Structure 1
Amino acid sequence: MTDIEFPEMRENILSAVRALSDAEYQERVWIRREYPRVGYFDDFTLNLNIIFDGTLVLEDPALALGKILRPQEEVTVMMDLVERIDLVLKAEGPDRSDAEYMRSPH
């Protein structure tokens, strides 16, 4: 992945997107707290923090092109993800549990 300026950040983004898109994983890890190994932790908030705060990709996905995202289609997908996360947070509020977010129709 030599065409990406920050490959470690890219892997963090990919991991977060995988977690956000996998309902079975969310139920097992976020709700039942069945972690794959000792010292492991993951939840909805952590993944949002990775994407929004840790890499700033969702703040402006277009600026991440070539640095963290490739190709242009990933920018489009991340823009869609921003809209969906904003919808959920506006509808449900910022202080719900992971289970409540997962049950949301949004």
Structure 2
Amino acid sequence: MKSVEFPERRGEVISAVRALSDPEYQQRVWIERVYPQPEFFDDFTLNVNILGDAGVWDSPRETIGYTLVSVAEAEAMESLIARLEEALEGVGSESPDSDFLASSFWPGVVEAARNALALLTQ
């Protein structure tokens, strides 16, 4: 794999995408609040914010070489971001995580996240 300038940030992006790709994790951690260790926290908003803080949300292609390694990764992230934006608009950005997971938008988010995760971790 090619190297990136910010490998720690890439790791955070991969972690966020992994969380977005796993409905069982989302139910257990985001909804039931069963955390894997003390002092742990995770939810939908945190993962969206990670993507924003990494610059991936606004312009995935501009993060190639910094956080992402290829156009294919950027395209997969663009697809994921588009699905997330649809969910945020359709469900409402202030809605609880349970509303997102129950929405008709969520399977598309999970599918796009799984596709992105496969590229990010190959």
TM-score using structure 1 length: 0.95
Of structures 1 and 2, the one scoring higher in RCO (CA 8 A, sep 6+) is 2
Residue 69 (1) aligns with residue 63 (2): no
Residue segments in structure 2 that go unaligned for 5+ positions in a row: 106-122
SS of 1:38's equivalent?
coil
CA distances 1:55-106 after superposition (whole Å, capped 9, x unpaired): 1111100000011001221100000011101100111111110111000001
Separation of aligned partners in 1, 2:33 and 2:100: 16
Partner of 1:36: 36
Separation of aligned partners in 1, 2:2 and 2:65: 10
| Equivalent residues, number | 105
The Cα of 1:2 is off from its aligned counterpart by 6.5
Partner of 2:91: 92
Q: Which amino acid aligns with 2:41?
A: F
Q: Which amino acid aligns with 2:83?
A: R
Separation of aligned partners in 2, 1:41 and 1:10: 19
Report runs of 4+ in structure 1 exceeding 2 Å deviation: none
Q: Which amino acid aligns with 2:36?
A: P
Separation of aligned partners in 2, 1:78 and 1:11: 14
Partner of 2:101: 102
CA distances 1:9-47 after superposition (whole Å, capped 9, x unpaired): 000000000000100000000011000000000000000
Identity value in percent: 43
2:2–2:69 CA contact under 8 A, matched in 1: no
Residue segments in structure 1 that go unaligned for 5+ positions in a row: none
